[in-house]
Chains A and B, each alone.
Chain A
Amino acid sequence: MAVKKFITGNFEEEAVLFPAVKKARRSGYKIHDVFTPFPIHGLDHAMGLRDTSLHTAGFIYGITGTSTALGFITWALTIDWQLNFGGKPFFSLPAWIPIMFELTVLFAAVGMVLTFCYLCQLAPFVKKDHFNPRSTDDTFVMVLECTDKTNEAETLAFLQGLGAKDVQVQHKETGWWLGRYDKDTMRFQKKAEVAAH
Chain B
Amino acid sequence: MALLRYESQVRPPLVEGDKDYHQVTEDICRPVEAKPSRLWWIGFLISAVLLAFGILSVTMEVMYGTGQWNLNRTIGWGWDITNFVWWVGIGHAGTLISAILLLFRQGWRTGVNRAAEAMTIFAVMCAGQFPIWHMGRVWNAFFVLPYPNTRGPLWVNFNSPLLWDVFAISTYFTVSLLFWYSGLLPDLATLRDRAKEKWAKAFYGVAAFGWTGSTKHWQRHEALSLVLAGLSTPLVLSVHTIVSFDFATSVVPGWHTTIFPPYFVAGAIFSGFAMVQTLLVVTRKVLGLEEYITIEHVDVMNKVIVLTGSIVGIAYLTELFMAWYSHVPYEWFAFKENRVNLASPYGWSYWIMMGCNVLSPQIFWFRKMRRNLVVTFFMSILVNIGMWFERFVIIVTSIYRDYLPSAWSTYYKPSIWEVGFYIGTFGLFFTCYFLFSKFFPVIAIAEIKHILKRSGHKYKDGMTEIEHESVEVFADHHGHDHGA
A166 on the B face (CB < 8 A): no
Q: Which of B161-169, B288-296, B301-309 contacts A (4 or more CB under 8 A)?
A: B161-169
Partner of A122, one of B185, B232, B242: B185
Q: B482 near A180 (CB under 8 angstroms)?
A: no
B1 to chain A minimum Cβ distance, whole angstroms, is 6
Q: A137 near B190 (CB under 8 angstroms)?
A: yes
Which residues of chain A in 111-159 are interfacial with respect to chain B, using CB atoms and an 8 Å cutoff? Answer: 112-113, 116-117, 119-128, 130, 133-138
Cα separation A45 to B193 with both chains bound (whole Å): 27
Q: Please name all residues of chain B whose beta carbon is closer than 8 Å to the beta carbon of A83 when the two chains form the complex.
A: 157
Q: Say what secondary structure dominates the interface of chain B.
A: helix
Q: A182 near B483 (CB under 8 angstroms)?
A: no
Q: Please name all residues of chain B whose beta carbon is closer than 8 Å to the beta carbon of A96 when the two chains form the complex.
A: 158-159
Mark interface residues in B212-228 (1 if CB within 8 Å of A CB, else 0): 11111111111110011
Cα separation A117 to B181 with both chains bound (whole Å): 12
Q: A39 near B171 (CB under 8 angstroms)?
A: no
Q: Please name all residues of chain A whose beta carbon is closer than 8 Å to the beta carbon of B168 when the two chains form the complex.
A: 98, 102
Mark interface residues in A36-72 (1 if CB within 8 Å of B CB, else 0): 1111111111110101101100100010000000001
Q: Please name all residues of chain B whose beta carbon is closer than 8 Å to the beta carbon of A43 when the two chains form the complex.
A: 215, 218, 483
Cα separation A151 to B163 with both chains bound (whole Å): 66
Q: A39-B446, A105-B171 are in contact. Are A182 and B202 (CB under 8 A)?
A: yes
Q: B235 near A54 (CB under 8 angstroms)?
A: no
Binding site for A on B (CB under 8 A): 1-2, 4-5, 20-22, 25, 146, 152-155, 157-159, 161, 163-164, 167-168, 171, 174-175, 178-179, 182, 185-186, 189-190, 192-195, 198-199, 201-202, 204-207, 209-224, 227-228, 231-232, 234-235, 238, 242, 245, 445-447, 449-450, 453, 480-484
Q: B220 near A37 (CB under 8 angstroms)?
A: no
Partner of B209, one of A35, A40, A81, A123: A123
Mark interface residues in A151-192 (1 if CB within 8 Å of B CB, else 0): 000000000000000000000000010001110000000000
Partner of B449, one of A37, A99, A109, A128: A37
Q: A54-B224, A124-B206 are in contact. Are A44 and B175 (CB under 8 A)?
A: no
For A, the interface residue count at a CB cutoff of 8 angstroms equals: 72
Q: A36-B215, A49-B215, A135-B213 are in contact. Are A101 and B174 (CB under 8 A)?
A: no
Smallest CB-CB separation from B209: which chain A residue? A122
Cα separation A127 to B192 with both chains bound (whole Å): 12
Q: A103-B167, A117-B209, A136-B189 are in contact. List 16 more A-B contacts (CB 8 A).
A: A33-B212, A33-B214, A33-B215, A35-B213, A102-B168, A109-B228, A110-B174, A112-B224, A116-B224, A124-B209, A125-B206, A128-B210, A136-B193, A181-B206, A182-B199, A182-B202
B194 to chain A minimum Cβ distance, whole angstroms, is 7
Cα separation A52 to B220 with both chains bound (whole Å): 6
Q: Please name all residues of chain B whose beta carbon is closer than 8 Å to the beta carbon of A125 when the two chains form the complex.
A: 206
Cα separation A108 to B133 with both chains bound (whole Å): 30
| Max count, chain B CB within 10 A of own CB: residue among A15, A34, A39, A72 | A39
Q: What are 19 sample pairs from A and B whose C-beta atoms fall under 8 A apart?
A: A35-B213, A37-B213, A37-B449, A39-B450, A45-B483, A77-B158, A77-B159, A99-B163, A102-B235, A103-B167, A105-B235, A106-B171, A110-B174, A116-B221, A130-B193, A137-B22, A181-B192, A181-B201, A181-B205
Q: Please name all residues of chain B whose beta carbon is closer than 8 Å to the beta carbon of A88 when the two chains form the complex.
A: 159
A18 on the B face (CB < 8 A): yes
A24 on the B face (CB < 8 A): no
Q: B20 near A138 (CB under 8 angstroms)?
A: yes
Q: A38 near B446 (CB under 8 angstroms)?
A: yes
| Max count, chain A CB within 10 A of own CB: residue among B163, B219, B482 | B219
Q: A99 near B483 (CB under 8 angstroms)?
A: no
| Max count, chain A CB within 10 A of own CB: residue among B179, B206, B212, B450 | B212
Q: Please name all residues of chain B whose beta carbon is closer than 8 Å to the beta carbon of A72 when the two chains form the complex.
A: 146
Cα separation A182 to B205 with both chains bound (whole Å): 8
Q: A108 near B231 (CB under 8 angstroms)?
A: yes
Q: Please name all residues of chain A whose beta carbon is closer than 8 Å to the beta carbon of B228 when the two chains form the complex.
A: 109, 112-113
Q: A49 near B210 (CB under 8 angstroms)?
A: no
Q: B218 near A39 (CB under 8 angstroms)?
A: yes
Q: B215 near A99 (CB under 8 angstroms)?
A: no
Cα separation A43 to B215 with both chains bound (whole Å): 7
Partner of B223, one of A34, A46, A54, A108: A54
Q: B207 near A49 (CB under 8 angstroms)?
A: no
Q: Please name all residues of chain B whose beta carbon is closer than 8 Å to the beta carbon of A103 when the two chains form the complex.
A: 167, 171
Partner of B146, one of A42, A76, A135, A181: A76
Mark interface residues in A1-45 (1 if CB within 8 Å of B CB, else 0): 000000000000011001000000000000001111111111111
Q: A116 near B213 (CB under 8 angstroms)?
A: no
Q: A14 near B227 (CB under 8 angstroms)?
A: no
Cα separation A62 to B234 with both chains bound (whole Å): 14
B258 to chain A minimum Cβ distance, whole angstroms, is 14
A12 to chain B minimum Cβ distance, whole angstroms, is 8
Q: A41 near B1 (CB under 8 angstroms)?
A: no
Q: Please name all residues of chain B whose beta carbon is closer than 8 Å to the beta carbon of A133 when the two chains form the complex.
A: 193-194
Cα separation A73 to B157 with both chains bound (whole Å): 10
Q: Please name all residues of chain A whose beta carbon is closer than 8 Å to the beta carbon of B167 when the two chains form the complex.
A: 98-99, 102-103, 106
A194 on the B face (CB < 8 A): no
Q: Please name all residues of chain B whose beta carbon is closer than 8 Å to the beta carbon of A92 when the two chains form the complex.
A: 159
Q: A18 near B210 (CB under 8 angstroms)?
A: no
